[in-house]
Amino acid sequence: MYHIRASCLELIRDLDYDTDITFDQLNDNILRVFSQYSVNSDTAIITYFNKDNVELLLDQIEILPTNGDIFHVFVKKVWDCCSLCLQTFSITDDQLPMECLGKKCGYQYCHKCIKTLRGLDGQPFFCMFCKKQYAKLENGPKRNELIEKYLLWPQFSKKYGSESVTSLGIVLILDNLQSDLECRKAHLLSRSTTLLNKLFKRNVDVNEDMELNEVDQLLQQFELIQNQIQQIFNRMNHNTTVDNCLFEYREILSGNEDCYPSFIHLCQSLINYIEVFDNYSDPSLYQHEVTDYEETKYCVNDVNSLSSEDSLSSIKAILDDIMFRKKCLIPLRETLQLMLTDDLGQHPYTNYLNDEMRKVELMELSIKIIENKIINLHTIFTDINICITNYKNILKDDNNFTVDCSKFIRLCELLHMRIEQLEIEENFPQLTQLTNEWKDIYDNDNEFKPKIIQVLKAVEYDLVNKYGENRQYTPYTIPYKVGIIGCRSVGKSSLHNRLRNIETEYDPLFSPVAIEKSTFCYLQFDKIYSSNTDNNNNQIPISFIDIEGCTDIDSELKSGNYFEEICKVDCDLYLIVFDREFSKLELSWKKYIENTMNRKYLLVRTKVDSLFLDCYQQEFKIQFNNSQIIDEQKIKRILNKCHTIACKTQYNNKLEKVYLTASKYPRCDHLISNAYFSDFDKQQLIDDIIEIAIHDSREERLRKIAVITTAKLINTCFRRGYVVSVMKYKIAAGIASSIPFGDEIPRYFGREKVRQVFGVHNNSYITNKWNKTTNELQTYLMKYKLHILKNDMYTNAFSYLFDRTNTIEKIAVTRDDEGVGVKRKLVRSTYTKKIRMKDGDNNGKILKKIFPLTTSRALIAIGGAADAGIRLAAPTASWGLRVGLSVGLAGVGFVLAIPLCAWAAISNGKQMHNYLHLLCNDLLVLNEYFITTVINQCLQNNDELTADFGASTIESFPNLFELDDDMDCVLINRRQTTN
């Protein structure tokens, strides 16, 4: 019997197994026990500690003791994001997961948070998950090499297609190297150009920018390798390949009727002649059959088994074989030559022999020619190999040399992170300033500065600046983000190039087009368009984002994954690209974009050139050619037919509008390429995108960024203090002074504790200040007339905002004895409610535009689960989060739910802390309501912005937790089972 005690995030399970269990079975079994954390063999590893307390990967069953001792194992995975800053974990230094040293805990924080919180002098730290306290200077959470090696890096290697680089060295094909290089270059260029443009706008000096310099350096190295490739390419004789050399070589060895017999026969006949000379006998007596023995002796089968692969090893094998043949043939020839000179002209069979010698010479010559060709190939291959090795080396970081592409991945991730950060800063300058002001708050111990009213004012300021009366926002300042999605090889990259009018691969901003994967994660290119309809001839910035294609293979896993990809790029408009009949897979994306994300989409059918030709052939029974171009009627008819076909779907429904396109590069069908209609709907598509960009107020994307950024601020500045020192009551005091606790404080703490909490201040002062801010915040919030459903809140702190008109309580709320462990039931119909404004009309278009409640819905879903472990599992299990997701994932509520779950885990301690965190939860809910209301109100005041564009006007509230039935992917229904 094996006795195993497995732990995962403080959850402990004892497992017993018979000794005949295999390692794989054991592995699966252990992971299955923690399925609530959505661990599986792809996302988790099992570790143990050896005698010296070193953590090792459990990779064989022999390690387990059979003597009945309990063996401790630990299930590790990369958790969804840092619960302090909401940043997802990544391979960049700042985003590395740092693991709590509590063996059973292993909860992770990002490196940056740990660095900031502990400071240079190692400040005390408190793990909010397992409540482990790290004293001053004591080692805090640290990196776990096993997690990085087995979980983190493999995910990123996959994401950035490292396997294509790994496979380069196996078969040496120059084209593969070239296209891989082009592709990686395009990625680096697009990201660094985007970043540069952003930095340039803010007048940042980029000369000293370490990452950009590193990218430059890498791009220069790419250039060098491209030169090398070109040189090798010029030296190559493209008719000479390993394959045809080998073919010729085999032909030579098997003989040629006019010139020489097969290699074996030739060797054998030479041996005969030697014997004839020795005995002066008739050579015809010695003609005999080739036996099996001789076939073995001359390695006939070896020649047939030689590999024709383009690799150094196959070339080496051929050269070895040639060497062997020469060793057989040359000594025989030399012996005979010696005999000939001895008996020159005397022997009767000299003529026969001379004849034979010519054959030998011919064969030797033929072999020599092949040998030279192969030697030549060998030098070229060696050079290609050096080139590939160089390429691999420059893609790797010195300190991470075992992982292919480690440097490339790191740089891409860093650039991505910085671009995302700059986007936030561009859009929310006030909020950014506030964060910067407060982030080092732990340096001074005096008074807790962060005030919720300041957060709200900052976000309001930023939003009103965009949407309000004197708004700075125009479609000309915020780039419109257009994502291109579709299955792999449907022509996304071609479309991408065409939309930007890039027709040649020599353009530095060319998006690589290849049959193999040409896009890792995504490629972003910015382009400025001028509007046709806008009289002021304004410039409209549009960012096109080419998202990696979805593969049909293992569609269940991949398409679930693809929703994440779609979400992550967070675009205002999506182009759904397809090249066949519109399928259910594409339908699921369409619904997801429309309903769940509340974004716009357009449908684009690619590769219409061949569709056109087929239709023409069918309709007129002749093949289309240039002479028929003049008949515009016919062409119009066929184009209409193409439109009708493109609108058809696999599920008996018609699509409303589809744009037709054909690619210019690699090439549109030559029959069409010069025709006046060869662009199909391209121009129309571009015009429509521009038109939508002008009229779309991008509010959903901005709201999401606003909510997440504010939530980060609340989490880092208001809650984080708890982690630094659990006993720092001053922080609670800080919140108390800005939040109307009302009669809650005495109820929770009693007067004695309140005095401890406010130790440094005197009561009357606090009371006054408190009342003042209460009024201030309340007045401020009332200005916006926002109504919050009582059930969305955990405390009564904001009771003055509760929507009292809503008497139908569809949510069952029960409170436990302490009055804090709130249990709620999810009643779906309640959530179809839109935000209410006191005086506004509820039927206006604006109210349909955006909806709050995502945060609270997430909270409610979690609130139902009592056990801390399950709470943490709730969002994880339902979404199946993977490493490297940006915060822009799914709904806002989703992103917030993760750390909220984690914070919920600490709510079991002292009441004050409990209350503090419930209050912070409420702040998040309030925050989302507030931001939504501000945006809605601004939009309402701007009549010109209320025009409804695109297809995504929605009538009912999109339900985050339940997606459509015909969407056969993972998603969220499972959540409800945790209640």
Residue 896 three-state SS: helix
CB of 96 to Zn ion, least distance (A): 10
The one segment of 96-104, 342-350, 658-666, 801-809 that binds Zn ion by CB under 5 A: 96-104
Residue 547 gets the label, from left (phi > 0), alpha (psi -120 to 50) or beta, of beta
- Residues 27-66 as x/- pattern, contact with Zn ion by CB under 5 A: ----------------------------------------
Contacts of residue 184, Cβ cutoff 8 Å, sequence gap at least 6: 222, 395, 408
**Distance separating alpha carbons of residues 428 and 472, to the nearest angstrom:** 12
Query: In the set 130, 270, 766, 970, which binds Zn ion (CB under 5 A)?
Result: 130
CB of 728 to Zn ion, least distance (A): 19
Query: In the set 9, 26, 85, 672, which binds Zn ion (CB under 5 A)?
Result: 85
CB of 117 to Zn ion, least distance (A): 9
161/899 with CB nearer Zn ion? 899
Give the helix ranges, DSSP H, for 255-349: 263-279, 292-297, 300-304, 312-342
Measure the CA dihedral 902/904/906/907, to 10°. 170
- At residue 611, what is the residue type? L
**Distance separating alpha carbons of residues 732 and 916, to the nearest angstrom:** 7
85/575 with CB nearer Zn ion? 85
Dihedral (CA of 929, 934, 939, 940) sign: positive
Query: In the set 8, 11, 91, 100, which binds Zn ion (CB under 5 A)?
Result: 100
Beta bridge partners of 485: 576
∠ Cα 907 912 914 (to 5°): 15
107/160 with CB nearer Zn ion? 107
Query: In the set 8, 75, 82, 646, which binds Zn ion (CB under 5 A)?
Result: 82
- Residues 836-865 as x/- pattern, contact with Zn ion by CB under 5 A: ------------------------------
577 phi and psi angles, rounded to 5 deg: -105, 135
The one segment of 81-89, 294-302, 753-761, 813-821 that binds Zn ion by CB under 5 A: 81-89
The one segment of 108-116, 289-297, 550-558, 673-681 that binds Zn ion by CB under 5 A: 108-116
**Distance separating alpha carbons of residues 705 and 419, to the nearest angstrom:** 13
**Residue 794 makes contact with Zn ion by CB under 5 A:** no
CB of 110 to Zn ion, least distance (A): 3
∠ Cα 894 898 903 (to 5°): 135
Q: Which tokens is 148 given?
A: 């990085």
Cα dist. 69→53, 176, 959 in Å? 17, 54, 50
CB of 873 to Zn ion, least distance (A): 16
Residue 132 three-state SS: coil
**Residue 724 makes contact with Zn ion by CB under 5 A:** no
The one segment of 74-82, 536-544, 707-715, 774-782 that binds Zn ion by CB under 5 A: 74-82
195/898 with CB nearer Zn ion? 898
Query: In the set 96, 105, 267, 723, which binds Zn ion (CB under 5 A)?
Result: 105
The alpha carbon of 705 is separated from its chain's Cα centroid by a whole number of angstroms, namely 19
Query: In the set 4, 9, 58, 127, which binds Zn ion (CB under 5 A)?
Result: 127
CB of 787 to Zn ion, least distance (A): 34
**Distance separating alpha carbons of residues 267 and 356, to the nearest angstrom:** 10
The one segment of 130-138, 249-257, 385-393, 566-574 that binds Zn ion by CB under 5 A: 130-138
Nearest of 68, 136, 139, 65 to residue 101 by alpha carbon: 139
**Residue 84 makes contact with Zn ion by CB under 5 A:** yes
**Distance separating alpha carbons of residues 912 and 746, to the nearest angstrom:** 11
**Distance separating alpha carbons of residues 347 and 332, to the nearest angstrom:** 19
The alpha carbon of 950 is separated from its chain's Cα centroid by a whole number of angstroms, namely 28
**Distance separating alpha carbons of residues 547 and 697, to the nearest angstrom:** 23
CB of 975 to Zn ion, least distance (A): 25
106/880 with CB nearer Zn ion? 106
Contact 480, 541 (CB under 8 A): yes
CB of 902 to Zn ion, least distance (A): 11
Contact 412, 187 (CB under 8 A): yes
41 burial (CB, 10 Å; 0-12 / 13-18 / 19+) is: exposed
**Distance separating alpha carbons of residues 729 and 607, to the nearest angstrom:** 66
The one segment of 105-113, 388-396, 876-884, 913-921 that binds Zn ion by CB under 5 A: 105-113
Query: In the set 37, 129, 510, 749, which binds Zn ion (CB under 5 A)?
Result: 129
86/970 with CB nearer Zn ion? 86
127/434 with CB nearer Zn ion? 127
Query: In the set 11, 26, 110, 895, which binds Zn ion (CB under 5 A)?
Result: 110
Query: In the set 102, 122, 560, 840, which binds Zn ion (CB under 5 A)?
Result: 102
CB of 104 to Zn ion, least distance (A): 8
* Number of residues located near Zn ion, criterion CB under 5 A: 13
Residue 282 three-state SS: coil
495/714 with CB nearer Zn ion? 714
110/573 with CB nearer Zn ion? 110
Number of alpha carbons in the 13 Å side-chain half-sphere of residue 702:
27
**Residue 107 makes contact with Zn ion by CB under 5 A:** yes
359/917 with CB nearer Zn ion? 917
DSSP for residue 536:
T
101/319 with CB nearer Zn ion? 101
**Residue 283 makes contact with Zn ion by CB under 5 A:** no
**Distance separating alpha carbons of residues 100 and 8, to the nearest angstrom:** 12
588/886 with CB nearer Zn ion? 886
Contact 600, 952 (CB under 8 A): yes
CB of 880 to Zn ion, least distance (A): 22
Query: In the set 96, 113, 615, 935, which binds Zn ion (CB under 5 A)?
Result: 113
74/784 with CB nearer Zn ion? 74
Would you call the peptide bond into 666 cis, given omega within 30 degrees of 0 as the criterion?
A: yes
CB of 82 to Zn ion, least distance (A): 3
Nearest of 367, 366, 360 to residue 324 by alpha carbon: 367
Query: In the set 132, 333, 451, 849, which binds Zn ion (CB under 5 A)?
Result: 132
110/441 with CB nearer Zn ion? 110
Contact 77, 151 (CB under 8 A): yes
703/712 with CB nearer Zn ion? 712
135/323 with CB nearer Zn ion? 135
Beta bridge partners of 56: 48
CB of 112 to Zn ion, least distance (A): 6
CB of 91 to Zn ion, least distance (A): 15
108/162 with CB nearer Zn ion? 108
82/668 with CB nearer Zn ion? 82
The one segment of 84-92, 453-461, 675-683, 743-751 that binds Zn ion by CB under 5 A: 84-92
**Distance separating alpha carbons of residues 63 and 22, to the nearest angstrom:** 13
Q: Position of tokens 């009767």?
A: 348
669 phi and psi angles, rounded to 5 deg: -55, 135
Residues that bind Zn ion (CB under 5 A): 82, 84-85, 100, 102, 105, 107, 110, 113, 127, 129-130, 132
